[in-house]
Amino acid sequence: MTPRDRRAVFLGAAVVGLAVLVLRLAPAAARAHAAARDGLAARSALLARMRADLAETKRLEDSGAVIRRRLASLAPAVLAGRSAADAGADLASHLAVAADRQGVRLTRTEPLPDSALGGGLGRVTLRATLESDGVGVVGLLRALAEADAVMVVDAVRLEVADPLVPRRRPELVRGDLTVSGWYLERGEPR
């Protein structure tokens, strides 16, 4: 093999090697490097978020103490019972007691379907049919608004006997109330 041949072979091999380096190895290395760099960046970002979470510990403790105090003060506002049926019974009981104290006669109570949820609380709703005079109805509404347990009157429908028609009996108000209350759906909040 002459020096010229050797030079040609060497040059050809160098060109092939350079082509493999530039077209195959370099792009593959660049991709691998980019993947490694992106992976590191993603893990670093995760670590930063974890550090931020840990830095929040003190604030969470403070907030937790405040919220627990507020929750304790609101404990009577929740209906007793861990199920909708139990809570509905408790709501009916509260309603009956308030009606009795105001001289309102409840002729019927029926649960209404209610699927509302609020932060671990479930809502139960009742419709109560009542008879009373005007003072009794207003007294019942006031009693419900001021009770320890949070009972919300969602709707009221009242009818009064025609005042222009002469009658012997005193004023009679008939109607119904839709009342709802809240209970702990999954037990005590942790």
Partner 1 sequence: MRLRVGRGRARAELVGGGAALWAAEVEFASVGELGVAVAALLVRDDLPARPGAVRFEIEPPLAQLRTLGGLPPVRPDQLRELVATQSGRFFRRNGHPLVTDAAWTLADRRTRGPAMAAAVEEPWVETLVDGARTAGVPVLAIEPAGLPADVSLDLVPPTERRRRRAHTLVGVRRLAFAVAMVWVAAGAVYLARLSHERAAVEREIAGLATPVAAVQRARRALGATAGIVETLERERAARGAVLGSLAGLIAALPDSDFATALTLDATGSGEVSLVARRSSEVIAALETSAAVVSPRIAGAVMRESVAGRDRERFTIAFGGGSR
**3-class DSSP assignment, residue 132:** strand
In the complex, the smallest distance separating the C-beta of residue 14 from partner 1, rounded to whole angstroms, is 12
Q: 63 or 107, CB closer to partner 1?
A: 63
Taking alpha carbons only, the member of 166, 155, 164, 173 closest to residue 102 is 173
- Distance from first CA to last CA of the chain, Å, rounded? 87
Structure token pair of residue 82: 């861990």
Minimum gap (Å) between residue 167 Cβ and partner 1: 13
Residue span 121-160 as binding mask against partner 1, x where in contact by CB under 8 A, dash where not: x----------------x--xx-xx----xxxxxxxxxxx
Which residues, other chains included, contact 157 with Cβ-Cβ below 8 Å and sequence gap of 6+? 175, 176
Please list every residue from 42 through 101 that binds partner 1, using CB under 8 A. Answer: 43-44, 46-47, 50-51, 53-54, 56-57, 60, 63-64, 67-68, 70-71, 74, 77-78
Measured from the CB of residue 86, what is the shortest distance to partner 1 in angstroms?
Answer: 18
CB of 187 to partner 1, least distance (A): 12
Query: What residues does 88 pair with on adjacent strands?
Result: none
Tell me if 174 sits within 8 A of 156, measured CB to CB: no
Q: Cβ of 125: how many Cβ atoms within 10 Å?
A: 20
- Indicate the SS3 state at residue 168: coil
Strands 151-160 and 117-118: unpaired
Q: Total binding residues for partner 1 by CB under 8 A? A: 52
List contacts with partner 1 (CB under 8 A): 36-37, 39-40, 43-44, 46-47, 50-51, 53-54, 56-57, 60, 63-64, 67-68, 70-71, 74, 77-78, 118-121, 138, 141-142, 144-145, 150-160, 162-164, 175, 182, 184, 189-190
